[in-house]
Structure 1
Amino acid sequence: MSAVAHAQGHAGQGSQALAPADPLPITGGTFKPTADSLKTYQTPAWFRDAKFGIWAHWGPQAVPRSGDWYARFMYVPGHPHYAHHLKHYGHPSERGYKDILPLWKAEKFDPEALMDLYVAAGAKYFVSMGVHHDNFDLWKSRHHRWNALAMGPRRDIVGAWRDAARRRGMRFGVSEHLGASHNWFYPSHQYDQFWPKMGADYDGADPQYADLYHPKHDEPFKGNPDTWYTTDPAFHKIWFNRIRDLVDSYEPDLLYSDGGLPFGEVGRSLVAHYYNSSIAKHGGVDVVYNCKALGSGEFYPEACVQDVERGVMSGINPLPWQTDTSNGDWFFTDGDTYKTAPDVIRMLADIVSKNGNLLLNVALYPEGNLPPESQTLLSELAHWMGTNAEAIHGTRPWAVYGEGPTETTAGAFKESAAYTAQDIRFTTKGDALYAITLGEPRGRVTIAALGRNAGHERRAVQSVRLLGVAEPLQFQQTDAALVIDLPARMPTRHASAFRIAFGA
């Protein structure tokens, strides 16, 4: 999960992936492995209602407590991860990433207790990491010996998360980052260029570990910038078998790919299988496939739910979509800077007003427990959601997404915005309109979009309630704006939600 990775390529309608030599084993049904067939997909109502999900982007790369992409950059001299590895674990020709894997014990991992916190914080779906670019499966993998049952925690991490989520009525998802692993891991095959280990091959060059680091290849050096996904059909088959095993074994409600739809017909076959399997079980498509308009691969916005990494849309998107982000680095790092509750709440309101969902990774220590910053975030989200959830869950966009002085920049890796109480976002549910301030208002709130001459609503405002306050508020609707008088004490911090009702 990094801008560095996604800068390697761009998504498009074309793909350099080869078609499979033999038909892939998929569940037959409505969907075929073609773009036109997959474009008939419709997002299920549960996802549109959920609005907020929590993700455990967590695995053995958290062990060094140094942040994202450790398994790659520990093989790149000059990078901080290389220096950290040399100091704490030894030279990567002797002790490589394979030696980090057994150190991930997850000895404080309590999915039941964590899921209670996630539910209280307002999450309606939960996503478990299935496999990151490090090529380590977090489930009882039928096709790969490098997995969490065989080493490290010696536990079915995906299964434990799934059971905890479903016991609480939450929808459950998995993320797969395996598609990019083949080329992402290529530094492990190189050699050191400095004394005293000049010319020493890293452990990825050892053939006995080729199923972890992948067979040696030079694809990233061939001058093709579109190298997020390999063109090697042998790896395409590996990817298909392992991700089908993940989907069939755990029946997730959501599957996330870290990039465009991988590998041409191979990827389309997997998604068709996923959708058809849902139809066979539920009588209709009740699952979500997330992919991105980033990284090489295919992207058809009608065929999936678009995911925007660490970014937002500029306005109301006609199709449901999702932001994925983290409260800190993607894997735990010492001395990190964290998003606070105001950051997350305001981002959530902005995204929901634009027909999107927020999937938030809440950083975990390598042992599986929460850092203090994550604990505080969940506690403050629980308090805010306890009062204001009705303005978020089950809502739909209004005529306009919002108003205010702060301009947001659309696109991936552009999530920062210094919102104010004058920035307002709108959601609707039934006959109610909700107006959410992206800051803590004082005295009065003025909403220009609800002025009689604004043209967005022909009905007059009948009543205004502040969520968390029993009595209706005093207001005045003029030609220019709706002006609301605030109580002396606000029920929640960070952002306030007003429920606005209209006359006939």
Structure 2
Amino acid sequence: MNRRNALKLGATALAGLYLSPLLGKSYILDSSISKGPFEPNWDSLAKYVVPDWFRDAKFGMWAHWGPQCEPEAGDWYGRGMYEEGSRQYKFHIEKYGHPSKFGFKDVINVWKADNWNPEELVNLYKTAGAKYFMAMANHHDNLDLYDSKYQPNWNSTKVGPKKDIIAGWEKAARKAGLPFAVSVHAAHAWNWFDTSQGADKNGPLAGVPYDGKLTKADGKGTWWDGLDPQELYAQNHPLSAKPSNNSSVHSQWDWADGASVPSTDYSEKFHDRTIDLIDKYNPDMIYFDDTALPLWPISNAGLRIAAHLYNKSLKKNKKVQAVITGKILTESQRKAIVWDIEKGQSNSIEPLPWQTDTCIGNWHYDRRVYNDKRYKSAKTVIHTLIDVVSKNGNLMLNIPVRGDGSIDELEREIVKEIGVWMKLNSKSIYGTRPWKIFGEGPQQESAGALTAQGFNEGKGKPYTSEDIRFAQKDKTLYATVMGWPENGVALIKSLGKSSPHRTEKIKQIRLVSTGEKLNFKQTEHGLEVYFPNQKPQASYANALEII
């Protein structure tokens, strides 16, 4: 008798049950958790200490890649294609046909990933300075991109490319000597796919249902004969009391605001899929695209996953080397897992290590961004990295991958440009810790406040040579001037003679990128640093080594 059947029969001896003090939901005490000191509750997980490899790495790169990249039409395609009148709906009809006849399951079928070379891409990212690599294991579209025991039919080894995507990425990362991370997003398919339950309200196919409620019996004579679409779409349930749309789906991310609450079977299947992922591919890090942990607070599935990973890592390494990230965390939850800020950054030095995740384009590949040349520049990426590091954070950067598994030439050039700066200046990044203050200058005064998961990037003024960011390593202070001073002199006000932040005498200053010693003068008003006449490469951010 498996755990799920035991639950159905009401037997609690195998799994155990207790009631959530928050919502009255049944939580499972899972005997399959790897044995160790971490238990599936926030207090126990708060014993966690972030490993040094993550704190030292500072910069990771991410392949946020799956079947939704095949249309090359941007983020959340698997949801947007079912929203009548939307850009993606119109695109879908023109490219594939009506979503009652060609649904997302059929998009998966045409995704072949035939130009995917994981080793080449991972090596490119490593050369650009990435110290860890992350691959998407599944998205809200619910397709597992690995040989999934508990999603046996709707995974990338059985449909679409018929390749073990995670195995390919993992092999490439291990060969490159990079810690391997996976991102897991599938907990939300329950509500995210609810648009697939709809139908057009207008036009010749008004009232004809989209394919979101199809079952195995409907597949006779089709390419998906024998497959059950409900194992993918998970829509065999009523819609939310407040049906989600472009706005309310976000308000329901924590399973509140009238959201349809997933069944125990759904939650346990997600749990089992994720444990299977951990045990087969041994990721060093898991990124969860969830408020806190997956399915919290309606289920403790995420807590059990976290306890399992920490105990497993402790047993293997003698101390926990694993990292888990989550979003919108309380102060106490930030002790248990690493706080991730999406497309934004903190405005102060955080007491605990954290991470920002962002991308140079859209999360899923979007041909419009390429055509319009709207990618983030290497300069923007580097400025973000420096700012994040000064505040005790890491940067995880997504390079959108095309449906065929390649990146375009504009992206490739940006990655190489990032590598130019990193090669010259990385000693001011890797292995550093925050200083007494993170920086100075007008940019921070204009920075936007965090909202929801983050989303404050790009809201402040552009960085100039008046903006300084600090970090330290051993007895060395790094001050990065976020531009080239046109008058040849950088003024660092926080290092003046009267500054309370640094009382030690300054003996020497070098420009990190060239190693050149620079002249300087310390006054009551600040430290004047005299820059050379010749600009180095990538002079939009100039790290100074101060001893």
TM-score (norm. length: structure 1):
0.93
What SS class does the counterpart of residue 324 from structure 1 fall into? strand
Q: Displacement of 1:106 after TM fit?
A: 1.1
Q: 1:14 and 1:167 mapped to 2: Cα distance?
A: 46
AA aligned opposite 2:525:
A
Alignment of 1:348 onto 2:385: yes
Q: CA deviation at 1:267?
A: 1.4
Q: In the aligned structure 2, how far is the partner of 1:298 from the partner of 1:96?
A: 42
1:312 and 1:409 in contact (8 A); partners too:
no
Shift of 1:112: 1.1
- Match for residue 285 of structure 1? 320
Show the counterpart of 2:409.
Answer: 372
Q: Within 2, Cα distance between the matches of 1:258 and 1:299?
A: 19
- 2:311 maps to 276
Partner of 1:381: 418
Structure 1 unmatched runs, 5+? 1-12
What is the distance in 2 between the residues matched to 1:403 and 1:415? 18
User: Which of 254, 265, 268 is the equivalent residue of 1:237?
Assistant: 268
1:486 is aligned to 531
Q: Does 1:361 align with 2:398?
A: yes
**Residues of 1 paired with 2:491 and 2:29: CA distance?**
63
Q: Which moved more, 1:203-212 or 1:170-179?
A: 203-212
How much has 1:167 moved relative to structure 2?
0.9
Q: Distance in 2 between matches of 1:489 and 1:179?
A: 53
Q: Percent identity?
A: 40
Higher relative contact order (CA 8 A, sep 6+): 1
CA distance in structure 1 between the aligned counterparts of 2:449 and 2:356, rounded to whole angstroms: 11
Structure-2 change in CA distance of 1:40 and 1:22 (3 Å): closer
Shift of 1:83: 0.5
Distance 1:101 1:373, change over 3 A: same
Q: What is the root-mean-square deviation of aligned Cα atoms in Å? A: 1.8
8 A Cα contact 1:469 1:491, kept in partner: yes
Check the 8 A contact 2:424/2:514 in 1, yes or no: no
Cα distance in structure 2, aligned partners of 1:146 and 1:389 = 42
CA distance 1:298–1:96, shift in 2 (3 Å): farther
Indicate the SS of the match to 1:43: coil
Measured in 1, the distance between the counterparts of 2:354 and 2:25 equals: 29
1:325-336 alignment, distance < 5 Å:
325-336=358-369
CA 1:345/1:88 → structure 2, altered by over 3 Å: closer, same or farther? Answer: same
Q: What's the CA shift for 1:441? A: 2.8
Cα deviations by residue, 1:414-445 (Å, 9 ceiling, x for unpaired): 10031112111001111111111222333111
Deviations 1:34-73 (A, max 9, x none): 1110111110000000000000001110111110000001
Structure 1 residues 298 and 26, CA gap change in structure 2 (3 angstroms): farther
Q: Is the 8 A contact 1:409 1:415 kept in 2?
A: yes
Q: Could you tell me how far 1:185 is from its partner in structure 2?
A: 0.6
What's the TM-score, normalizing by structure 2?
0.86
Q: Quote the Cα distance in structure 1 between the aligned partners of 2:418 and 2:122.
A: 14
Match of 2:40 in 1: 33
1:378-430 CA-partner distances (Å, limit 9, x unpaired): 11111111110000010000000000111322421110031112111001111
Query: Which whole-Å CA distance do the structure 2 matches of 1:299 and 1:102 have between them?
Result: 43
Question: Is 1:441–1:496's contact at 8 Å kept on the other side of the alignment?
Answer: no
DSSP 3-state at the match of 2:135? strand
Alpha-carbon distance in 2 for matches of 1:36, 1:22: 15
Distance 2:400 2:42 in 1: 36
SS in 2 for 1:258: strand
Question: Are 1:266 and 2:311 matched, yes or no?
Answer: no
Q: Hey, what does 2:546 align to over in structure 1?
A: 500
Say which of 457, 461, 474 aligns to 1:415: 457
Does residue 324 in structure 1 map to residue 324 in structure 2?
A: no
Asked if structure 1 preserves the Cα contact closer than 8 Å seen for 2:194 and 2:235, the reply is no
Deviation digits for residues 203-248 of structure 1 (CA, Å, limit 9, x no counterpart): 1111221111103323423489535543421211011010111111
Task: Report whether the alignment pairs 1:246 with 2:277.
Answer: yes
Q: How many residues get paired?
A: 487
Corresponding residue of 1:472:
517
| Correspondence list, 1:133-212, <5 A | 133-144=140-151, 145-208=153-216, 209-212=229-232
Counterparts in 2 of 1:258 and 1:470: CA distance versus 1, 3 Å: closer
Match of 2:301, SS state, is helix
Match of 1:106 among 102, 113, 132: 113
Deviations 1:140-198 (A, max 9, x none): 11111111111222111111111111111111100000111111111111122122111
Residue 22 to residue 467, structure 1, CA distance change in 2 (3 Å) = closer
The 2-side partners of 1:242 and 1:24 are apart by 16
Alpha-carbon shift at residue 252 of structure 1 (Å):
0.4
Of the candidates 231, 234, 237, which is equivalent to residue 214 of structure 1? Answer: 234
One-letter code of the match for 1:285? Answer: V
Structure 2 alignment gaps of length 5 or more:
1-19, 217-228, 256-260
1:393/1:142 CA distance change after superposition, 3 Å: same
Q: Report what 1:5 is aligned to.
A: none
Match of 1:302 among 303, 319, 335: 335
Q: Partner of 2:494 in structure 1?
A: 449
Counterpart amino acid of residue 173 in structure 1: A
Shift in Å at residue 266 of structure 1?
A: 1.8
Once residues 449 and 35 of structure 2 are traced to their aligned partners in structure 1, the CA distance between those partners, rounded to angstroms, is: 38
Quick check: 483-492 or 62-71, which moved more?
Answer: 483-492
What letter is aligned with 1:382?
Answer: G
State the distance in 2 between where 1:75 and 1:299 align: 39
Q: Structure 1, residues 79-113: CA drift from partner, whole Å, max 9, x if none?
A: 11111111110111111001100211111111111
Q: Identify if the C-alpha distance between structure 1 residues 490 and 15 changes in structure 2 by more than 3 Å, giving closer, same or farther.
A: farther
- Which one of the candidate residues 94, 113, 118 is aligned to 2:101? 94
Match of residue 4 from structure 1: none
